[in-house]
Structure 1
Amino acid sequence: MKETELPYWRLSGFYFFYFTCLGILVPYLSLYLDWQGFSASQIGELTAILLASRIVAPNLWAWIADHHGQRIIIVRLTSLAAVIVVAGLFIEQSFFSVAITLLLFSFFWNASLPQFEVITLEHLGKDSHRYSRIRLWGSIGFIIIVIVLGALLEVYTPNIVPMTLMACAAGMWLMSLTVSDTSHQKNEYSQTPLKQLLKRPSVIAFLLMCFFIQASHGPYYTFYTLYLEQFSYPSGLIGQLWALGVFAEIIVFLLVHRWLNQHGTRRILLVSLLLTSLRWLLIAFFPQHLLIIILAQCLHAASYGAFHSAAIAWVHRHFTGKTQGRGQALYSSVSFGAGGAFGSLFSGYLWDTPGPQSIFVIASALSFIGFLVTLVWLKEDDRINKYTP
C-alpha cells in the first residue's frame, strides 16, 4: 500500500491513546490501590481481575466481528463504554466496587485492541511487516504518560490516576471515530477452520509460550513500582525507568520488520524469551544497583518489543480470513489475559512470603519454560524470502 493511501496518523493515534491508558494502569494502578489502603494480596487480586477479563472479552467481541464484520463499530462502542465505566472509580472505593469497575473497564477496553490490530493489518495489506512503525506510537504514548504522571505524583496524591485514565480513554474513543472500516476488503489467503488450527502442535506451542512469557511479567507489571519504592527510588525516577524500557521498545519497533524478514519469527521469539529470563534475574538480585536496573529496563526491547512484534506476525500468518480477529483475540486472551492474571495472582500471594526477590526468580523460570516450549515444539521457519528494507 502506498504511504498516501495509508491513514498512518489516524491508526497511530488510536495506539497512542490506548497505550497511554496502559501507561497509567501498569506503573500506577498498584500505587493508587496501595494509597487507597488495599493489601498486597488484594492488589494482586484486583490486577488479576483487570487482566482475567481479557480471557473472555476479546474472544467474544472477535466472534461477533468475524461473523458480522463492522470491526470499527465494535472498537468505537467498546472504547466509549470504557470511558463511561471508569467513572465508577470516583463513586466508591470498597474492594467489591473497585473490582466490578476494573472488571467492566477491562471487558470493554481490552475488546478494542485485537480488533484494531486486524483493522491496521488490513489497511497495511501486503506491507504487514511495517506494522511496528504504526504500533511504535503506542509506545511513545506510554513513555509520555509515565513521565508526566510520575512527575505529577510527586506533587499531587494518587487520586489523579483515575482522572487521567478517563481522559486518555476518551482520547482513544475520539481517535476511533476517525478510522475507516476495512470489512469490505477481501482477504487473498486461504483459510483453515479455527477448530482445525487449534489442533496443530505449532499453534498449541505458540499459545503455551505466550502464556508463560506473560505470566513471567506478572510481578513486573503488578509490583515493580512498589518494589523500587522499597529501595528508596523516587516516583519521578521510577517513571523515567518505565519510560526507558518503552523507549528501548520503540527502537526495536523501528528495526524489527527487517529482522522478521531476515531471521523469521521463531528465532526472534527464542532470543526474546532468553533475554526476558535474564531480565527478571537482574531485577531480582540487583535492585540497589541503578546501572543494572537500567540495563534490565533496556531488555524490555526483547521481552515486549521484539516478542510482541514477532507474535503479531506469527498470528497474522497462521490465522487468515475470518479467523483473523479470533486469532488476535486468542493471542491476547491466552497471553495478557490468562498469563497476566496468573502472574499477578502468584506475585500478590507470594509478595510478603517468600518475598519480591523470589517472585522475580519464579518469573525468570517461567520465561525459560516458554523458551523450552518454543525450542522443542515451535519448529516452523517463518523467514520471508524476499527482503523489503
Structure 2
Amino acid sequence: MAAAVLTDEQTSTKPTVADLPKPRWRSAMRMSGFGYLWFFGAIAAFNPYIAMYYRSLGFSGLQVGILTAMPAVGLAMSGPFWGSIMDAMGIHRLVLRLALILTALFAIAVANVSGFTTVFVFVTALAFSFVPLRALLDSYAMSVANRTQSSFGTIRSWGSVGYFVAVLGLGELMGKDVSNLFLYAYAGFLILTFVSMWGLPDLAPRQPSNIIGGLKDVSTNKPLVLLYVVAFLLMIAYATIYLALGIHMKDTLGGSANQVGIAFAVGAAFELPAFVYGNRLIRKFGETKLITFVIAMYALRFLILAAVPTAAWVIPVQTLHMVTFALFLVISVPMAHKLDGGQHPATTQALLTTTSFGFGNIVGSVGGGALLDVVGTANLFLIASGLLVVTLVIFLIGARMLKLDHVLRIANRRMRGLD
C-alpha cells in the first residue's frame, strides 16, 4: 500500500496560501502572475521552435515525433502521482523550486548535444523534471483567485503576455533559421520563474491522507472524467500544431522562422481576451455550451490551416487560438476545480494536465510524427479536424447522459460556500 500518514508535528508548522492574511493574498496573486509571465515565456521559447530544431539536426519525422512527445511521456507516467504526493505531503513549494532549476539545467544540456541518442537522454531528463510545473502554477492560481475574488483567467493572462513577447522576440533574433539560442532563453525564463515565485507559501495544509485515495476520488468522478476525455482528444489534435505548424509554414509553404514566431505570437496575443472575459462568458452561457462551441471552432481552425496557400495566411488564422485553446483552458481549469469541490487541488489539475498535455500530446506527437512523412502537413491537419468532429459527438452525448449542466449548478453553489 502506498500511503503517507503524517504526525501532528508535521501537520502544524508550515504556513500555506489559506493561512495568508488578506493583504498578502494580493501579493500572492502578483507572484502567481509574474510566475505565469516568465513560465509561458519559457514555453514560447521552446514549443514553437523545438520540432524545427530537431529537423535541423537531421532527424526523421518519426524521430522528431518521439522527441516532441517526450515531455508528454514524462507527464503521463508520473503527473498524477506527483499531484497526489504533493497534496498528501504539502511539498508543493519544494517541488516547484527543484523542478524549475533542474529543467533549466537539462535545457542547457540539450543545447550542447546533437546525436539522436544523446539528445533523447537529455530531453527525457528535461521532460520528467518539467512534469509538476504546469499543474502547480494552475493550482496556485486557482487557490489564490478563490481567496481574492479574482478569476483564474485574470492571473493566467500574464502568461499570454510573456508568451507573446518571448515568441516574437526570439523569432526576430533567429531570423530565417533556427539555432540553439531558444534553449538558452528557455532556461533563463525558468530561472526567472523560480525567482518570481520564491515568496509563495505551500499550496495546502499537510493532512493525514492516502496518496492513492486522492487519485481514486478524482478518477471516479464521472463529470470530471468526461472533461478529461475531451481534454485528451483536443490535445491529440492540438499537438499537431506544435509538431507540424512550423514545418508546414517553413518547408511546405516557404516561410521563415520569423514568420513562425509571428504566427505563434498572434495566437498568444489573442489568448488575452479569452482570459480577461472568459469568466463572464462562463457565467452567461455555461461551461457545456462553451465547450461545444470550442470544439466546433477547433475543427474549423484545422480545416482552414490545411487549405491556406502561403505562410502569411497562417498568421490571421492564428487568431482562432482565442476561441479554441485559450477559451478551453479558461473553462477547463476552474471547471475541474469546481467539480472536485477543491478537495484535491494538485491531483485534479495534475490529472487534467496529464490527460491533455500528457497522454493527448503523446498520441498527437508520435502519431502525427509517424504520419508526417507519409501524408504531409496539410493532410495531417485534415485528419485532426476529423478527430475533432468525433470529439464533439462524444462530448454532447456524455454531457446529456451525465446531466452536466445540473451537476455544474450544484458544484457552483457548493463552491460559493467556500472562502
- Determine if the TM-score, normalized by the shorter chain, exceeds 0.5: yes
Partner SS, residue 254 of structure 2: coil
Q: Which residue of 2 aligns with 1:62?
A: 83
Judge conservation of contact 1:129–1:257 (CA < 8 Å) in 2: no
Q: CA deviation at 1:203?
A: 2.6
Identity in percent: 21
Name the CA distance, whole Å, in 1 between partners of 2:65 and 2:300. 24
Bigger CA radius of gyration? 2
Name the CA distance, whole Å, in 2 between partners of 1:270 and 1:156. 39
Q: CA deviation at 1:183?
A: 2.4
Deviations 1:157-199 (A, max 9, x none): 512122112111211222221323342499xxxxx96424423
Q: CA deviation at 1:200?
A: 3.9
The partner residue of 2:50 within 17, 29, 34 is: 29
Q: Which residue of 1 aligns with 2:155?
A: 134
Pick closer, same or farther for the CA change 1:140–1:238 going to 2, 3 Å: same
Q: How many residues align?
A: 380
Judge conservation of contact 1:121–1:128 (CA < 8 Å) in 2: no
Q: CA deviation at 1:245?
A: 1.0
Partner SS, residue 131 of structure 2: helix
The partner residue of 2:96 within 69, 75, 78 is: 75
Q: CA deviation at 1:50?
A: 2.2
Q: Which residue of 1 aligns with 2:13?
A: none
Q: CA deviation at 1:81?
A: 1.5
Deviations 1:119-164 (A, max 9, x none): 2222222556611111011111111111111011117751212211
Q: Which residue of 2 aligns with 1:189?
A: none
* Pairing 1:262–2:284 present: yes
Once the two structures are superposed, the pairs formed by residues 254-293 of structure 1 within 5 Å of their partners are 254-288=276-310, 290-291=312-313, 293=314
Q: Which residue of 2 aligns with 1:114?
A: 135
Once the two structures are superposed, the pairs formed by residues 1-389 of structure 1 within 5 Å of their partners are 5-7=25-27, 8-125=29-146, 130-154=151-175, 158-184=179-205, 194-229=215-250, 230-288=252-310, 290-291=312-313, 293-378=314-399, 379-381=403-405, 382=408
Letter paired with 1:110: V
Judge conservation of contact 2:52–2:178 (CA < 8 Å) in 1: no
Name the CA distance, whole Å, in 2 between partners of 1:87 and 1:330. 29
Letter paired with 1:349: A
Judge conservation of contact 1:212–1:369 (CA < 8 Å) in 2: no
Deviations 1:215-252 (A, max 9, x none): 00121111111100121222222211111111111111
Q: CA deviation at 1:2?
A: 6.4
Query: Pairwise CA RMSD of aligned residues?
Result: 2.3
Name the CA distance, whole Å, in 1 between partners of 2:194 and 2:22. 27
If the length of structure 2 is used for normalisation, what is the TM-score?
Answer: 0.85
Judge conservation of contact 1:66–1:322 (CA < 8 Å) in 2: no
Name the CA distance, whole Å, in 1 between partners of 2:162 and 2:243. 20
Unaligned 5+ segments in structure 2 are: 1-20, 208-212
Judge conservation of contact 1:62–1:329 (CA < 8 Å) in 2: yes
Pick closer, same or farther for the CA change 1:198–1:78 going to 2, 3 Å: same
Letter paired with 2:98: L
Pick closer, same or farther for the CA change 1:276–1:309 going to 2, 3 Å: same
Judge conservation of contact 2:91–2:202 (CA < 8 Å) in 1: yes
Name the CA distance, whole Å, in 1 between partners of 2:85 and 2:76. 16
